[in-house]
Structure 1
């Protein structure tokens, strides 16, 4: 490791990072969406390991601001952790992550979040797996819509109405991101895989609900939704439409519904059969105990509790929308 340099990149090196990441899925554009369109991407939060002028490993940090009752958390979203095949087995990724994590407090982060299947690997770096619930709906149910709402594809002109619904609906939920107009416009370009099916429901020519879905993990996944007060039925209709379309080509649909039991019961009443899935593949880590404790108004020792994430983000009532992944 003596010849390996751990550092962040200059703005001119973004293409070199994308060339490295292209080895992962043989799809440079998959990663370019995030590095080009996420307004929080910054070269000084793009970490690389370099040896003799060649980039061997990288990860990026994407800034998210999460609602938490009367305050918000500055979250370092760690993504795109990758090492070229020829350099694996040398602990380069571990060393790079260890280095990067020491830099995060200097950027004003409270906590860090990542999505992973290598739970033990990231646990050694201080991350803790946290539980969230997904509702799984198997194909087979015959869906009939009521016709009360006009359901159509999202159009650019709908963004203002959708944004208002998001702020009203998601604004009351722990764990959702606070979005600026720039964040919205960027996220609409990278949240799909690579595309998304974005549906809106109209009542008297007014958008009153929306639901966004894409293919993930081989399933049809509803990434996010929201509805205006009094229009729960519009959400149910949208989810039924997604189910009818998505399960034609996929072995089921996944939706975050733990915080929305009335919608779940309405879907079951319309013939859908659900099974609760426990997702433990998102992991959290405290970056700055002092900053986090100050925001929460608790002693520093309290943020070292093994129940911290269960208390901050209860699986039954909090939501981090899948559309905000990185």
Structure 2
């Protein structure tokens, strides 16, 4: 016996430039979850799309038209090419704030976090967005505790998801919340989605800050890049920059946002990822090639930076192993 009632309405907010693949992908995921639930005699999810008109915000799509109550969840998708400006976010943020006051849980994917943060509800709370938008997000919303390593951050009435495809993680999390873990797993299996928690740092690459305008520090950065961050002391870096060591440390951190030792770690780990992906060399040899005499220390640093052991990273991303 099937059940055509909705356990909850999940609304997806559509704005100019919003990624259509994300909108329709989430809609399909929730529909599939509802169908799996119906097979077991459970309830469905009502899915709606919300667009701004001259008369205010209205449903432009609704899988179960009728009742006009506030959705249980409103999700703000990301945009394909850019994040919304403060002027663009303002009317959406104001409307979301009102819906939140009515009891709606708010969610975002990728750059949608900019609209969500504009409500002021993320102040003092942890959130995530696409790792490429991290610096821009932090400049615009310095009172938000950004954790761009996380694929998803669930904080009760606020859920934020990271990269462009993190809508799958958010979707499964909401299915789990409303329809339970069994339906969530069935939905993941149907869509061939990995339901296990992932982190963005598995995928993100080190993108050093090179537009800071400090020429001596930029000179050192290019030098470190050429050396792969290997066998370089802070004193040698300071000498290459033509600075006293204390001055160099202060200027380097100001320009790049990290200590020289952390910067070199990122360069070494980046090279190690490349070797793990495209070669069959043993992990111990890769550790030595990127500048670590102690393979155990390399493994610890790699897992801290990437969130996976070198072996797990190779099994997941290694093209040579796959071939």
TM surpasses 0.5: no
Greater strand fraction, Structure 1 or Structure 2? 1
Structure with the bigger RCO (C-alpha within 8 Å, sep 6+) is 1
Normalising by structure 2, we get a TM-score of: 0.28
TM superposition score normalised by structure 1: 0.28
Tell me which structure has the larger Cα radius of gyration.
2
